[in-house]
Amino acid sequence: MTPAIELSDVRKSFGATPIIRGVSLAIEAGTRQALIGPNGAGKSTLFNLITGKYPVTSGRIRVKGAAVTDLAPYEINRRGLARSFQVTNIFTRMSVFENIRCAVLWSAGYRYSFWHRISAARAVNARAETVLEQLNLTARRDVPAGVLSYAEQRALEIGITIAGGADVILLDEPTAGMSRSETEHVVGLIRQITAGKTLLMVEHDMSVVFDLADRIAVLVYGEVIAHDTPERIRANAAVQEAYLGVPQGVA
């Protein structure tokens, strides 16, 4: 089966500094996987390479079998890959509903249309309402996104990512800065919205990682040192050393 995401010897340098130093990784379609690693390992950079935000220095990236290496973010998104951001990245002056609706438009085929009334786009509006319900944000429907609470903005961040119906989803630290109960809610949400889809997420909360992930990739100094099931990653000596400096149990 074609992997949802396939990296072949991907390298990225900023100036003379190599950040990603030859990553080859295949994410099987239909699995939930986590990308973990110490701070500065290059996790977000790897996301930015996969989603087209940064160009690679060398190497090849395929999404669902199609080469996307030098494509723009919007072209990669149109192939069914969507991402969220570590720092909340929403349309602050637009209403919560408008935020979600904008994320639905392209996938619903409206492109750059100025000949459709958006209020008459029933499927788009219905889809946006459905996503709002999933996020528990229906009560905040008409509020400008910029005035939402932090946790609500994080939920909206995920909502914008999944609203277009992409089947390959990249989440960058979806639970960062959240309380225990908020984290539990988001984990439930992620489980629900990624059912039957491919998920790759960067996450620091190990309980979330071991709760959700079928497989875990460990990135250290720009290299994948392990890519395996949670049990084997837990037992992996190299991973323990990278995380704690001493051979101990992870988390």
Partner 1 sequence: MSTPVATRPFAVAGVARAARVRRYGLWLAAAVVLLLLPQSVRTGTAIAVMNQMGIAVIFALSFNMLLGQGGMLSFGHAVYFGLGGFIAAHVLNMAGRGAIYLPVPLLPLVGGLGGLAFAALFGSFSTRRAGTVFSMISLGVAELMAASSLIFDKFFGGEEGITTNRSKAPLLLGLEFTRDRQVYYLIAFWLFVATLAMYAFSRTPVGRMANAVRDNPERAEFVGYSQHRVRFVSFCAAGFFAGIAGGLFAVNYEILTAENMGLNASGAVLLMAYIGGIGAFVGPILGAVVFTFLQSMLSDYTGMWLLYLGILFLATVLFVPMGLAGLLMLHAPVWRARRVGRLLGPYVLTGALGFVAAVGIIGLLEMVHFVAAGRTGTRRLFWLVVAPRTLMPWLGFAALVVAGAVGVRWTGPRAVAAFAEASRPGRP
Q: Which residues bind partner 1 (CB under 8 A)?
A: 51, 53, 72-74, 77-78, 82-83, 85, 89-94, 98, 101-103, 105-107, 110-119, 121, 126, 129-130, 132-134, 138, 160, 163-164, 195
For 158, residues 6+ apart whose C-beta sits below 8 A from its C-beta are 84, 135, 171, 174, 186, 189, 190, 193
> How many residues are recorded in the chain?
251
Cβ nearer to partner 1, comparing 51 with 198: 51
* Residue 36 or 193 having the CB closest to partner 1: 193
Nearer to partner 1, 90 or 224 (CB): 90
Nearer to partner 1, 78 or 215 (CB): 78
Mapped onto helix, strand or coil, the DSSP state of residue 219 is strand
Question: Could you tell me the smallest distance in angstroms from the CB atom of residue 121 to partner 1?
Answer: 7
Residue with Cβ nearer partner 1 (102 or 148):
102
Give least dist CB 114 to partner 1, A: 5
Joined tokens for residue 223 = 């290299």
Amino acid at 111: R
Whichever of 39 and 114 has its CB closer to partner 1, that residue is 114
Least distance to partner 1 from the beta carbon of 141, Å? Answer: 10
Strand 32-36 to 66-67 pairing = unpaired
Calculate Rg over the CA atoms of the chain.
18
In the complex, minimum distance from the CB of residue 224 to partner 1, in angstroms, rounded to a whole number:
24
- Residues forming a β-bridge with 83: 170
Residue 220 CB, shortest distance to partner 1, in Å, is 27
Task: State the pairing for strand pair 32-36/198-202.
Answer: parallel
Which of 57, 82, 85, 80 shows the shortest CA–CA distance to 69? Answer: 57
Cα separation, 213 vs 203, in Å, equals 10
Nearest approach in angstroms of CB 69 to partner 1 is 17
